[in-house]
Structure 1
Amino acid sequence: MNDSRYVLGIDNGGTVTKACLYSADGELVAHYGAKVETLTPHPQWTERNVDDLWQANIDAIRGCLEAAAIDPTQIASVSITGHGNGLYLSKADGRPARNGIISTDSRAQSVVDEWLARDDFDERARAKTLSTTWAGQPNALLRWLDLNEPEAFEATDWILMVKDYIRFRLTGEITMELTDASFISLMDVPNRSYDRELMAYWGIERWFDKLPPIVESTGIGGRITAEVASLTGLAEGTPVAGGCADVAAAALAAGVVDANKAAAVTGTWSINEFVSTEPITDTDAWLTAVYPVPGTFIVLDSSPNGVANLEWYLREVVGGILREFGGVEPDSAKIFATCERMIQEITPSDDDPFFIPFINGSDVVPHGRAGFIGLNAYHEIRHMVRAVYEGVILMHLHHITRLRDYAPLKDEITFTGGASNSELWTQMFADALGSPLEVVDAPEAGTLGVAAVGAVAGGIWPDVRTAVEKMTRDPRAVVEPDPAFTELWAKRFARFTAYLDTQR
């Protein structure tokens, strides 16, 4: 192994594209982020301009390399992750066929409703996909396009996920990486192959030939072109790994390689997952997909009901009031600090209001909408802010509770994502989940996890398990649950789930 080699990890998330350079032992050498605007041209739509996305990747890579000030030939590989599902349609030359669609999009809910009502769904679909299906998946979005934008078919040469599109632009080689492919309900997951009969079941068989070849996570998906080298500062010919889906990358960064170890990832989505040596075939399970560690699967129970709810509340409600009445652009860091102070000023009670965190819709309650319930004249803005924090936590508890039904999970849960940066929120999570939380020591978990995959592709480490062992750190904190609040959270959760049941 050459200790002077590096891996560039890139994460195309819901709002920011990040490029992070890591040493062979996982040290973060340099990083750079570029924002990408989310477009909501119609209710239930969440899209992005793909040309802007591509430019954000160029800017992030160049900014990271300029900050690192290293010889680019020392970079052993580039490895990309990004949000799962959604849809990125490309022409043969790499130009986008239309705007990209993010996985929080719910325009295709009526399509999904019809599929889930079929008596043969479990037999004909779930047995192959190992998954339920929801509106933000490619199968639903392709069917919606056939019904509403039929011209998209002729404009499209390739169906891609976000990271696979970026790899295509970096290398000129067209592939889809295996973990992402196993998430999108177009694959027979046990057999690791696309399935024409499955696509016919969805009513989208004509799209089958637009699916690209599969590449393994640690495989080489292409090499940096001369044009991209001139745009970014990367060396021409640098290998680009297959990479992996963001939920897999986050778990790898958390050191999750052994069976029955759970992770909670607090981002735009409420991601909750554990590793299994066998696929979960229970018809009530949410999703089982391929994991980059050979011989394993990642089992998820998740929803688009995560930290984005707090971001929306602070931006549109708190920030909106300040903009309208104060005439100033609010300081988001000060707003967040003030909210945490307000939460600590009140004693939590079972009489507190609830916030239903469905700003981006929900597959837990199809057609569900966000809102407060249980407000009365006694409550203040402090109670409402706490309710938003709690709503995100209660959705994670909903998902973790379901995962605990499928396997004897270890008591400790690895914890990462935006909420892990708040000591207050982390303690609230621990109290609610009733488990010690191992807070991941990785400021950019997605890029670190996918860099571990890239380190294998680049020849630095022999396999993913070794790469994770060498590149990840012990938890920066272990937060124990406070028994004094356990009973209150149990009561709150029972009322929360009872309300969700009335909405189904």
Structure 2
Amino acid sequence: MYLGIDLGTSGVKAMLMDADQRIVGSASGALEVSRPHPGWSEQDPADWIAATTEALDALRAAHPAELAAVRGIGLSGQMHGATLLDAADGVLRPCILWNDTRSHGEAAALDADPRFRAITGNIVFPGFTAPKLAWVKNNEPEIFAKVRWVLLPKDYLRLWLTGEHLSEMSDSAGTSWLDTGARTWSAALLAATELEERQMPRLVEGTDRAGTLRQELAARFGLGDGVVVAGGAGDNAASACGMGTVSDGAAFVSLGTSGVLFAANGSYLPNPQSAVHAFCHALPDTWHQMGVILSATDALNWHSRVTGVSAAELTAALGGSLKAPTGVTFLPYLSGERTPHNDASIRGAFVGLGHESDRAVLTQAVLEGVSFAIRDSLEALRLAGTQLTRVTAIGGGSRSRYWLQSIATALSLPVDVPADGDFGAAFGAARLGLIAATGADPVSVCTAPVTAETIEPVPALAAAYEEAYGRYRRLYPAIRDAVN
């Protein structure tokens, strides 16, 4: 048996998987986010341990024999969080999370140093870890002076599980301190934030052994001795392992709260000017590129709240066949935008409204706006040297067949829909636990799910969609100039 633990923003999910990669059971523990000031987003690391304990207790209650047979554990987690520890591993302050924007000024200052883009292959975004440490140095110097360890969220869980200060490449690539091509910490970039490599965890690959479960925890949760803990992965790379998106050119589009277009790469292909993330993958000698939009299903959920109609009812009202764009355009920049604009201050808009613009027209515009934002990410990936031939859809938004038709037509790519199953980050983490414990070949383990259906682009609407996308592209600079 193998266990995957995914530390998300809203909860911890623990999943049991057998040697044939069949899911035996799963359980979760809830988390909340603290927002003490506008733009702040924090969590107490003690809550991560409490939520993990809740999930593991539930698994033990439901599947005691299977949990006792676990031989490997994989970890996945929300990326970029700054978890600061003192010399005794005490937590110095609440963790500053990935969606915290307080360090936008520090991020801009670090990004102005050309070494950061040159070495990391990425823009220094406000959500990344390095600018958060710069903010702490500038605003909480007494805390900064005590920092002995900087850990990412899932690696704090690893410290609790194993007693080891370790991380892996995919998660560490989101800190702005990793030499992403060389897969090692950059002393120069750490020095730019007045830190040293000794304050960073030792790096391993996601498939490597990265400690063993402490005996007292093994006894507490009913596991045996010598349970291996894998390096693991950041949440998107772990999801890619779960989806089998590990070979060069394989890709998925994730329609979650945010949206992600993720492509696996057999070589390192940075292009920071396009605001594409170029990160290490969880597998050795593999990288990935990622376009990220900040509001995907979040945009539809916002529309649902405003109209008082559920998201499912809104999309169902559009019918089963894709419609031509109406001329109403929605810019889904409700929380700013990352790829390709790197603009935290931009905000969303409807453009082209008329008396005839009813609720269905607005719903259609919202879905199209997200589809066009994902098309922006596709164009950014192309500029970075990645050519895709198809994508697989995951996430809650992928339940809308209409939306998938819109995405397929906007991208001019077929969209594969996997057969029912849970192929997310916890499953990918469990796969990494299996690889670390057994030494199995990663590619043979991280296979793609069976495709239940392929959604093809609608040829009759290709020209209309291309015209609407051009209009969408022209609106960003106009809105930017109006709000800034």
Same fold, judged at TM 0.5 (above): yes
Match of 1:12 in 2: 7
Match of 1:187 in 2: 178
Match of 2:454 in 1: 478
The amino acid that maps onto 1:157 is: R
Of the candidates 345, 357, 360, which is equivalent to residue 368 of structure 1?
Answer: 345
Of the candidates 75, 80, 83, which is equivalent to residue 75 of structure 2?
Answer: 80
Of the candidates 277, 288, 293, which is equivalent to residue 298 of structure 1?
Answer: 288
The amino acid that maps onto 2:317 is: M
- Over 3 Å counting, the alpha-carbon distance change for 1:141 and 1:63 in structure 2 is same
For 1:234 and 1:13, how far apart are their aligned partners in 2? 23
Q: Secondary structure of the residue that 1:31 maps to in structure 2?
A: strand
How far apart are residue 236 of structure 1 and its match?
4.7
- Over 3 Å counting, the alpha-carbon distance change for 1:178 and 1:166 in structure 2 is same
The amino acid that maps onto 1:223 is: T
Of the candidates 121, 125, 129, which is equivalent to residue 138 of structure 1?
Answer: 129
Of the candidates 468, 483, 487, which is equivalent to residue 446 of structure 2?
Answer: 468
Match of 2:223 in 1: 234
Match of 2:119 in 1: 128
How far apart are residue 80 of structure 1 and its match?
0.7
Match of 1:67 in 2: 62
Of the candidates 313, 321, 331, which is equivalent to residue 338 of structure 1?
Answer: 313
For 2:434 and 2:354, how far apart are their aligned partners in 1? 55
Answer with 279-288 or 396-405: which moved more: 279-288
For 2:143 and 2:359, how far apart are their aligned partners in 1? 46
How far apart are residue 68 of structure 1 and its match?
3.0
Of the candidates 389, 392, 396, which is equivalent to residue 367 of structure 2?
Answer: 389
The amino acid that maps onto 1:60 is: A
Instruction: Confirm or deny: 8 A CA contact 2:295 2:334 kept in the other structure.
Output: yes
Match of 2:470 in 1: 494
For 2:381 and 2:92, how far apart are their aligned partners in 1? 38
Q: Secondary structure of the residue that 1:43 maps to in structure 2?
A: coil
For structure 1, which runs of at least 5 residues remain unmatched after alignment? Answer: 1-5, 320-333
**Identical aligned residues as a percent:** 26
1:40-96 deviation line (CA, Å, top 9, x unaligned): 222222222322222111112222343334243311211011122132223455543
Of the candidates 420, 427, 435, which is equivalent to residue 413 of structure 2?
Answer: 435
Instruction: Confirm or deny: 8 A CA contact 2:253 2:393 kept in the other structure.
Output: yes
For 1:234 and 1:343, how far apart are their aligned partners in 2? 50
The amino acid that maps onto 1:252 is: C
Q: Secondary structure of the residue that 1:132 maps to in structure 2?
A: coil
For 1:418 and 1:164, how far apart are their aligned partners in 2? 27
For 1:183 and 1:390, how far apart are their aligned partners in 2? 29
- Over 3 Å counting, the alpha-carbon distance change for 1:390 and 1:50 in structure 2 is farther
For 1:126 and 1:265, how far apart are their aligned partners in 2? 26
Answer with 133-142 or 349-358: which moved more: 349-358
- Over 3 Å counting, the alpha-carbon distance change for 1:157 and 1:310 in structure 2 is farther
For 1:366 and 1:306, how far apart are their aligned partners in 2? 16
The amino acid that maps onto 2:5 is: I
The amino acid that maps onto 1:45 is: W
For 2:92 and 2:181, how far apart are their aligned partners in 1? 31
Q: TM-score by structure 1 length?
A: 0.87
Any residues of structure 2 matched to 1:399-410 within 5 Å, and which?
A: 399-407=377-385, 409-410=387-388
The amino acid that maps onto 1:158 is: W
How far apart are residue 159 of structure 1 and its match?
0.8
Question: RMSD across aligned C-alpha pairs, in angstroms?
Answer: 2.5
How far apart are residue 164 of structure 1 and its match?
0.9
How far apart are residue 282 of structure 1 and its match?
3.7
- Over 3 Å counting, the alpha-carbon distance change for 1:151 and 1:77 in structure 2 is same
Of the candidates 35, 46, 54, which is equivalent to residue 51 of structure 1?
Answer: 46
For structure 2, which runs of at least 5 residues remain unmatched after alignment? Answer: none
Match of 1:247 in 2: 236
- Over 3 Å counting, the alpha-carbon distance change for 1:149 and 1:183 in structure 2 is same
- Over 3 Å counting, the alpha-carbon distance change for 1:500 and 1:309 in structure 2 is same
Match of 1:450 in 2: 429
Answer with 373-382 or 190-199: which moved more: 373-382
Match of 1:23 in 2: 18
Q: Secondary structure of the residue that 1:75 maps to in structure 2?
A: coil
